[in-house]
Amino acid sequence: MKALITGFTGQVGSQMADFLLENTDYEVIGMMRWQEPMDNVYHLSDRINKNDRISVFYADLNDYSSIQKLFETHRPDVIFHLAAQSFPKTSFDIPIETLQTNIVGTANILENIRALKQKDGYDPVVHVCSSSEVYGRAKVGVKLNEETPFHGASPYSISKIGTDYLGRFYGEAYGIKTYVTRMGTHSGPRRSDVFFESTVAKQIALIEAGLQEPIIKVGNLSSVRTFQDCRDAIRAYYLLSVESAKGNVPCGEAFNIAGEEAFKLPEVIDILLGFSKRDDIKIQEDAARLRPIDADYQMFDNTKIKSFINWKPEIPARKMFEDLLNHWRDEIKKGRIPLNR
């Protein structure tokens, strides 16, 4: 079995690679652009160099020919399509690139699979990673299920609505074994610092190291959302791929995957500060971190996914937050001082 991971160098992609290498006998192909940072996959460098069940293929979602070469060369049995411009706040600055990468980039992958399926019956399982952000500005008090209407609240969420529809369309129209996931807020080690809980943890680690004054800068703190560990979500991704290969998941089916512990954002700050010995850290709103519009209420119904696979979140949120803070402490000890953003 060959598994392709797009977005291999990201938090989710790199941990997906770790999971498959540890829990399956799959060969893993990590797709990345040539200039991407390798921070999250340095620990796999020796295995990549030795071609020990993992290799790298350089391609770009926006370059159809490179995607075509990838599929014609390797023909993976399962594709975990995780690559995206995945930062909601950044999408306000680069809306066109976000839409291009996430919608057209996904279409480039699915079109290549469709063409090969029509040509000679190529029939892989395709995980299309959407996002809980497709629900956007949800009504307070409403638990989101897979039938909840979409309400885009950023160029990113709109791009993921397009991605979501593409996953369903190619499944229903062409019989490609796609399934779509809408993952709620997920975190833990390797989480990018453009996301709320990670930038808070990073700033605490910088303050502890004497590299930042004892002030944490934040944006909107009015959100309420569930949190889950990325490693729990990856188990769900894998289990869905297995059931899809067996024909137990209808083509194009969508699933919420979310944590079952909910927090107001000030509570998240308190939890992270509780892991620090510093007692002089203050919180300050930073206008540059505010979005024009926010998806500020996200509570989910996991009933559907539990009817397809034997899964539930297992890593407690507090453990996830502690691991995230320790990740940033380790990065700073290694001399990898992150930018202020």
Q: Give residue 136's pLDDT.
A: 84
For β-strands 261-264 and 224-229, DSSP reports them as antiparallel
- Pick out the chain residues at pLDDT < 50: none
* Pairwise CA distance, residues 65 & 112, whole Å: 10
Its pTM stands at 0.92
For β-strands 282-285 and 125-129, DSSP reports them as unpaired
Angle between helices 317-333 and 265-274 (to 10 degrees): 60
Beta-bridged to residue 88, according to DSSP, are none
Q: Give residue 87's pLDDT.
A: 87
Q: Give residue 142's pLDDT.
A: 75
Q: Give residue 222's pLDDT.
A: 79
Q: Give residue 340's pLDDT.
A: 64
Which of 128, 138, 28, 11 lies closest to 81 in space, CA to CA? 128
Q: Give residue 296's pLDDT.
A: 62
Residue 58's alpha-carbon distances to 66, 114, 214, 224, in angstroms, are: 8, 21, 41, 39
Q: Give residue 291's pLDDT.
A: 63
* Pairwise CA distance, residues 294 & 58, whole Å: 34
Q: Name the residue with tokens 């979500």.
A: 233
